[in-house]
Amino acid sequence: MVIESTAEPFVQKPQTLAALRDEIAAGRTKAADLASTYYERIAAINPQLNVYLSLTRDRALEQAQRIDAIAAKGDPLPILAGIPVGIKDVLVMRGASSTAGSKILEGYHPPYDATVVTRLEAAGAVLLGKLNCDEFAMGSSTENSAFGPVRNPHDLERVPGGSSGGSAAAVAANLAVATLGSDTGGSIRQPASFCGVVGVLPTYGRVSRYGLIAFASSLDRVGPFAANVRDAATMLGVIAGHDPRDATSSPAPLPDYAAQCDKPVEGLRIGIPAEYFGEGLDPEVRAAIELGIAALEAAGCKTRPVSLPHTRYAIPTYYLVATAEASANLARFDGVRYGYRSTASESLSAMYRHSRDEGFGAEVKRRILLGTYALSAGYYDAYYLKAQKVRRLLAGEFLRAFAEVDAIVTPTAPTPAFKLGEKTGDPLAMYLADIYTVTASLAGICGVTVPCGNTRAGLPIGMQVLARHFNESTAFRVARAVEASEAS
């Protein structure tokens, strides 16, 4: 297995999905040997990065041996045959530890697989293990995990982003060829930007949520990370599609995303929203995104300004809707049915109180309290209902913009990766790290973040490409054009 290495000791670029699959099909690489190579690298690197919370070695090697047996017979291989993949720990795998980064679920081994897990294995993927994340996907830095923070492979003193920081860092450090994460308000796109990889926010309903441990049910989405746009498109093609076990899953037709990636972008109309280029945007991030926009113009795209004035209300709107849904979803974790139960429980009410107080971390408790308050009698109309009305206005603005343009490009995050501990004492500053991503989450549209240069200190910068509902193909086309300009 050939690995392209960069100057940083922890950053390695894996081979593409297609190249690895061809190696396995030709017999030049055994899937079982490839998996073992990745487990060796995990053993060497994971103690410094804290990316994996648990490994599923027996299941992975059994799958790899099945792939090798198919290859030995000369039979056609599935599209992800032998590809090592990591799974964010908010997605359940049968018999594997599934904690959602929380002490309250420590020791939980679910009896079933998430739909996306089933689809990955049916496509031949070798699932290496479960990846670290902010507790219940609540965070922007992966510092809220009950099992310790993840470190950014580009700079071990910096965060990888969150909540899917383990998923992004695993791809950046080549501890998996591709991974799955979840995105509620930016939890795929922001860490992808911070770690210099590609991350995908599918349209709400495009990918099944069956088997996803819920944070905010009207916002949660499952999506892939990969080292390049085509691999990310291939991964989405595998996991997307209707699932009768998810009532919010869409039956919309599924295109061949990978085949769409290299279609010319000449003539595409690209919207540039002024609201994403104002106060708080790091100058180096601005410069990199402007260069990316210039590259799209050189490729034949036509850029024009678009207006999304309700963007300034996105953060408070998101943190009312998301916390309200979280307070309802997390009510089930009470120390009775599964998970952590406090020993300081002299009565039923004390058991509930102590189990939740000891089992949940500070950020989760903060959001439960916020959400419960927003839903309480006398405050529902003033907060939650009003937030839903603003959400509808924001979604309408995107629909009007997409009547005029094919895609919208923005910075993914206002800054590059910040230092560990820099924002933990200021929750509002942490929440503002998602200022450019929560809008698409509230609107239900799709997006891709793609690497778009680096700071002078070598930290990655990401460009966010947004497209209308179920138009991931256009987002991939534009992202691939940015990627091609970076490579030239």
Question: Among 88, 130, 249, 355, which one carries the catalytic annotation?
Answer: 88
Do 68 and 30 form a contact (C-beta atoms < 8 A)? yes
> How far is residue 480's CA from residue 261's CA, in Å, rounded to a whole number?
6
Question: Among 97, 140, 145, 163, which one carries the catalytic annotation?
Answer: 163
The 3-class SS string of 163-190 reads CCHHHHHHHHCCCCCEEEEEECCCCCHH
Q: Which two tokens stand for residue 217?
A: 């049910």
Closest CA to 397 of 271, 220, 221: 271
Burial profile 174-187: b = 16 or more Cβ within 10 angstroms, e = fewer = bbbbbbbbbbbbbb
Asked about 30 being catalytic, the answer comes back as: no
Asked about 13 being catalytic, the answer comes back as: no
Do 374 and 380 form a contact (C-beta atoms < 8 A)? yes
Angle between helices 17-25 and 229-239 in degrees, nearest 10: 70
Question: Among 187, 249, 250, 441, which one carries the catalytic annotation?
Answer: 187
- Quick check: bond before 327 cis, omega within 30? no
Asked about 88 being catalytic, the answer comes back as: yes
DSSP annotation string for 341-387: --S--SSHHHHHHHHHHHHS-HHHHHHHHHHHHHHSTTTTIIIIIHH
Report the catalytic residues: 88, 163, 187
